[in-house]
Amino acid sequence: MTTAARDAFFMARALYLAKKGSYTTAPNPRVGCVLVKDDLILGEGWHVKAGLGHAEVVALESVFDASGSTAYVSLEPCSHYGRTPPCCDALIKAGVSRVVVAMQDPNPQVSGRGLKKLKAAGIEVCCGVLQEEALALNRGFIKRMTQNRPFVRSKLAMSLDGRTAMASGESKWITSAESRADVQRLRAESSAILTGINTVLADDPSLNARIDQTVVQPVRVVLDTHLKMRPEARMATLPGRSLILTGTDNPQKQSALQTVGFEVYLLPCKNGRLDLLAVLEFLAAQQINEVLVEAGAVLNGALLAEALIDEYVIYMAPCILGDQGRGLFSIPGMQQMTDKKQLKLRDVRQIGQDLKLTYTPL
Ligand code: AOF
Ligand code: ZN
């Protein structure tokens, strides 16, 4: 095997391990580490949860003697004191002789300093192995670190004729049980689920991840410009945080909602509605890496019109709801073909009788 092939092989294992943290590491990135000597894996580890050991430290703890080994890490080892001490120091102390990483840490507290520190200690360093896969795995963390905004994914369920509900709003259920189970995985991967007040008033949703695995539950976020939330809403009774973002300063209503467990935040408005960019910046400040939008046509249309959606996951069911049914995106003022929003198809797969379609903006 060439060195490049060997490096890719063990990095693939590190990425596989990193993915095990998909439902639990946020706000930290998903990171995996493999320690290899003479082509044998001595030990491995992954970052399970913020506050617990980083991947490198977990891997080092799993071996008796790591000296002379190569460490494959899916993210540059950290050089700073966060909740835990620097991984660089641990690798140097253990006598690792080569460190291969998939990508630099976009965290401004690290960003290259970890690699520099390792080199200065005489360790051979190689960066960029399976970089694309590593970038995809932590796209939310990277976007928060570099753009101060979370990665935004909108999940939509529609009929074959592109309808997401009947005219009355009734929408249970368009897609199959298999697709709905898949949505639970999207929720588990997300740090927040974003919806609008009208969806909450109509459906009284739980917006939690119901999945048979350990999950750090996403934060529920409701955009409620005029503070119409009812204190009786089901989500207030569920474990975890429920945030109401509003443009209306009504202390009495706020305190009624706070009493039942809601957190209420006053945010700026634009044209009579919450400023969506301010909403995303607020969520980044709350350390939200990945947002899943589960909303109606108005919020989805507004996010699309402002080019704030990074990925669309659309489940298409083999049923027809007719032309009285509701559409996916409300975009007032769209008249001509030149106004059309063009997306790029990234993935197609069959789930039960439904199709799962993944799109990104062009
Ligand atoms: C690594 N290995 O497994 C992870 C890293 O507050 P802390 O101590 O948990 O540090 C969090 C930061 O450390 C995080 O923002 C990112 O820069 C880095 N994550 N680094 O060497 C790991 N999870
Ligand atoms: Zn670290």
d(CA 311, CA 296): 16
In a domain, 166, yes or no: yes
pLDDT of residue 296: 94
pLDDT tens digits along 30-74: 999 999 999 999 999 999 999 999 999 999 999 999 999 999 999
**How far, in Å, from the CA of 55 to the mean position of ligand 2?**
7
- Assess whether 10 and 122 both reside in one domain: yes
pLDDT of residue 31: 98
In a domain, 243, yes or no: yes
In a domain, 272, yes or no: yes
Per-residue pLDDT band at 168 (split at 50, 70, 90): confident
Residue 94, domain CATH:
3.40.140.10
**How far, in Å, from the CA of 140 to the mean position of ligand 1?**
14
- Please report, for residues 127, 218, 333, the alpha-carbon distance to residue 163 in angstroms, rounded to integers and kept in the order given: 46, 27, 20
Q: Which ligand is nearest to the CA of 58?
A: 1
CA-nearest of 140, 184, 179 to 158 is 179
**Rounded percentage of the chain residues whose pLDDT exceeds 90:** 96
- Assess whether 191 and 331 both reside in one domain: yes
Residue 343, domain CATH:
3.40.430.10
Please indicate whether residue 270, judged by its CB atom, sits closer than 6 Å to ligand 1. no
Please indicate whether residue 221, judged by its CB atom, sits closer than 6 Å to ligand 1. no
Q: What is the mean pLDDT of the chain?
A: 96
What is this structure's pTM?
A: 0.95
Omega of the bond leading into 27 within 30 degrees of 0 (cis): yes
pLDDT of residue 115: 98
Q: Which ligand is nearest to the CA of 55?
A: 1
Q: Is position 56 annotated as part of the catalytic site?
A: yes
Hey, CA dihedral for 214, 36, 118, 137, is it positive or negative?
negative
**How far, in Å, from the CA of 78 to the mean position of ligand 1?**
6
- Assess whether 113 and 159 both reside in one domain: no
In a domain, 143, yes or no: no
Mean pLDDT confidence for 217-231: 97
- Assess whether 222 and 285 both reside in one domain: yes
pLDDT tens digits along 179-209: 999 999 999 999 999 999 999 999 999 999 9
Please indicate whether residue 87, judged by its CB atom, sits closer than 6 Å to ligand 1. yes
- Judged against a pLDDT cut of 90, whether residue 83 lies above it is answered with no
pLDDT of residue 68: 98
Q: Which domain holds residue 257?
A: 148-361
In a domain, 187, yes or no: yes
Please indicate whether residue 82, judged by its CB atom, sits closer than 6 Å to ligand 1. yes
Domains held by the chain: number:
2
Where does a domain end: 84, 111, 138?
Answer: 138
